Structure 1
Amino acid sequence: MKLLKTLLASAVAVSAMPALAYEAGDIIVKAGIVNVNPKEDSGVDGLTVKDDTQLGLTLTYMVAPQIGVEVLAATPFKHGIELNGNRVATTKHLPPTVSAQYYLMDPASKLQPYVGLGVNHTFFFEEDGAVNHLGKSWGLSYSAGLNYDLGDNLLANVAVWKMDIDSEADTALGELDVEIDPLVFMVGAGMKF
């Protein structure tokens, strides 16, 4: 019984601790592992773009307690390009994305789910193999995520983006329209300043 009372008292104390309240002017920096997973159907029969995982960073500026502007950046992603299961090319890309975010909970909540809408600009480089060049892409980005307050201005984060990335590939067979449209996943940690 004493153990039960101690656990109950601890739970009440933890729930009463002040949370990482978001305020206008706050800056939230997060780093973590990011996976870019292109959709299976690229729009070209038999052509697939493989996924890659890199280090990702986000910077969010809170313009109001429940509204933020986020920039997503990462180290370059390298993707294998396969035709009917055989690797025919590789490429690297960077997909910087700027999003407006809305935080759904009270700004003082320890749990902060959010949704976002933004613009993605992807550029490709270091193509080799059967692809001579992939054109730049502009597209919409939809996102959702969750921050969890760990105390001392630290937080844990999971997030997902759906990006509209379409490119024109210059190949030996001529110009091909390629739809990459990946899901992007991030697991990381961050700090609020």
Structure 2
Amino acid sequence: MKTSRLVGTAALLAVTAFGAQSALAYQAGDFYVRGGFEKSDPESGNGALYGDDINVSEDTGFAYGMGYLFHNKLGVELNGSQTMDQDLTAGNTGLGGSFDSTPINLMLNYYPLGGISDARVHPYAGIGVNYTHFDNESFNADLDESWGFAGQVGVDLSVTDNLLVGTWARYADVDTDVDIDGTYKTRLDIDPVTVGAGVTYRF
């Protein structure tokens, strides 16, 4: 399913429910869990291999998250996605293959409308750190794990006091050293932008 359809469906569900439901804003002490789907799209031009440009494919998968608000307007969140299967191609060299990447993000989120009791729309923005693990390279290469900056923006829409639907966009600084055959090294800059939509349950 395309990301645009995911986002549209989430927004439509929330708007339909607004007429008959009340809602409470995020507030200190809230704990939530989230599930949905997201599309990860690496930047174009991911490096060079034997003089040819490297390109890494996009992928879509299940996304998860959980968080806790320690202040009406501030909270921490751990999120990530299922392992992504991505293809790597290198121009006209004929070299390439696939690899798995598993991203995890630890974020500090800011909720500008947190603590406002009648708010039904809950925007947020966050900064934090991304960890990405690489595995199952189909070619004779080894990709190092990556640590880097992560940022996100999103919005949740209340369906009930506990159930919300929402969308998010996320950027992660993902760079890895690639060792091919133990003799050739290069740098792979993936830096994906991820867009997703899902359902959140708040306790």
Q: TM-score, normalised by structure 1?
A: 0.86
Match of residue 184 from structure 1: 194
- Two-structure CA RMSD over aligned residues (Å): 1.8
**What runs of 5+ residues in structure 2 fail to find an aligned partner?**
1-17
Aligned residues: 179
Greater Cα radius of gyration, structure 1 or 2: 1
Match of residue 94 from structure 1: 102
Q: Does 1:68 align with 2:81?
A: no
**What runs of 5+ residues in structure 1 fail to find an aligned partner?**
1-13
**Counterparts of residues 1-193 of structure 1 (less than 5 Å):** 18-44=22-48, 45-84=52-91, 88-107=96-115, 108=117, 109-129=119-139, 131-172=140-181, 174-193=184-203
Moved over 4 A (4+): 14-17
SS of residue matched to 1:20: coil
In structure 1, distance between residues paired with 2:95 and 2:63: 26
Alpha-carbon shift at residue 26 of structure 1 (Å): 0.9
In structure 2, distance between residues paired with 1:110 and 1:35: 26
Kindly indicate whether the alpha-carbon contact (under 8 Å) linking 1:80 and 1:87 is maintained by their aligned counterparts in 2: no
Q: Which has the higher contact order (CA 8 A, sep 6+)?
A: 2
In structure 1, distance between residues paired with 2:99 and 2:163: 35
Cα displacement string for residues 16-40 of structure 1 (whole angstroms, at most 9, x for unaligned residues): 9532322212111111001111101
In structure 1, distance between residues paired with 2:32 and 2:81: 16
Amino acid across the alignment from 2:151: Y
In structure 2, distance between residues paired with 1:38 and 1:139: 15
In structure 1, distance between residues paired with 2:25 and 2:53: 49
Q: TM-score, normalised by structure 2?
A: 0.82
